[in-house]
Amino acid sequence: MVLDHLAVAVASWSDATDVLVGVLRGRWRYGIRTPAFNPCQVGYGNDTRIELLAPPEQGSSFVTKFLAAGTNRPHHITFKTTDIRAVLRDAERFGVAPVLVSLENPGWQEGFLHPRDTGLGVLIQVAQGDGDPTKALPPDLLVDCPWAESGDEPSTISHIIVRVSDTEWAARLFCEVLHGERVVVTDDMVRLRWPSGADLLLLGPERGSEPPLPLGVRSIGFDATAPPDLALTPVGMGWSKTQVVPALGLSLLFNSV
């Protein structure tokens, strides 16, 4: 099991280009245009990726409906496994019934854990696939890199911060079903790790916040020096934080390395 990527819903891929490519030096992995939705992935230093989910050029889709509830924002976190049936059985035993399960195609199998059942505030996708997901697609669906990329090494995603309704329950879900390892536990935070990809930091509801902060993915932490033109607020332990970046619907944290 590995934490594969974070997916963000956007009206257009170009909405997030300045941040993901210009600021964070992400590298194009692939892009696909389909009648249902248009995903592309941008890669970072520890093989964690950020996926941009855009609506189709004509008609509507689940992305259209998701965006209708607000602006650009995180949609799901994907974990990849070599035994999806075992993971889905573990989810059932844990008390979370997977939804939208599709196991017919051996090249790509998936199921989802819905936030209404998990209290995570974000959809969890569990997937099993054979290598590069673009290899089996018709060439006319694939998109070449649409923007200029920096020659610099991409930033490394250290962690993804998720605000949840119950940190202990959520940590058990991620450990018992998704095979995470607890590496740091405090009174108000649990840090989880997988063999590759970013860590997850689980935070509980913010005490005394009015209105209460929404649950779900709130920030991404980068082991990188922030560009000098970003407005940052120190948050302790050498980390500094931006305000919410509209292109992503979350804030960015930087730690000089």
**Is residue 149 domain-resident?**
no
- 156 pLDDT higher than 60: yes
**Is residue 151 domain-resident?**
no
**Which residue among 141, 176, 194 closes a domain?**
141
Closest CA to 140 of 32, 237, 221, 52: 32
**Which residue among 141, 164, 181 closes a domain?**
141
- 198 pLDDT higher than 90: yes
What pLDDT does residue 240 have? 92
104 and 228 co-located in one domain: no
Beta partners for residue 214, in sequence order: none
Higher per-residue pLDDT: 52 or 47:
52
What pLDDT does residue 228 have? 80
14 and 136 co-located in one domain: yes
110 and 181 co-located in one domain: no
What pLDDT does residue 152 have? 87
* DSSP run (H or E) holding 68: helix 62-68
What pLDDT does residue 256 have? 64
174 and 84 co-located in one domain: no
Mean pLDDT for the stretch of residues 178-197: 94
Structural domain that includes position 214: 156-255
33 and 130 co-located in one domain: yes
Mean pLDDT for the stretch of residues 212-230: 86
- Give this prediction's pTM: 0.94
17 and 131 co-located in one domain: yes
**Is residue 150 domain-resident?**
no
48 and 116 co-located in one domain: yes
Residue 172: CATH number of its domain: 3.10.180.10
Ranges of beta strands (E only) in the chain are 2-9, 27-31, 38-43, 49-54, 73-80, 99-102, 108-113, 123-129, 156-163, 181-185, 189-193, 199-203, 216-223, 233-236, 239-241, 251-255
**Is residue 146 domain-resident?**
no
Say what the alpha-carbon torsion angle 169, 202, 120, 180 is, to the nearest 10 degrees. -70
Number of domains present in the structure of the chain: 2
217 and 124 co-located in one domain: no
**Is residue 236 domain-resident?**
yes
Return phi, psi of residue 107, to 5°. Answer: -80, -20
Which residue has tokens 């994907």?
78
Say what the alpha-carbon torsion angle 23, 216, 54, 223 is, to the nearest 10 degrees. 20
Q: What is the DSSP letter of 16?
A: G
Q: CA quadruple 178, 181, 183, 189: dihedral positive or negative?
A: positive
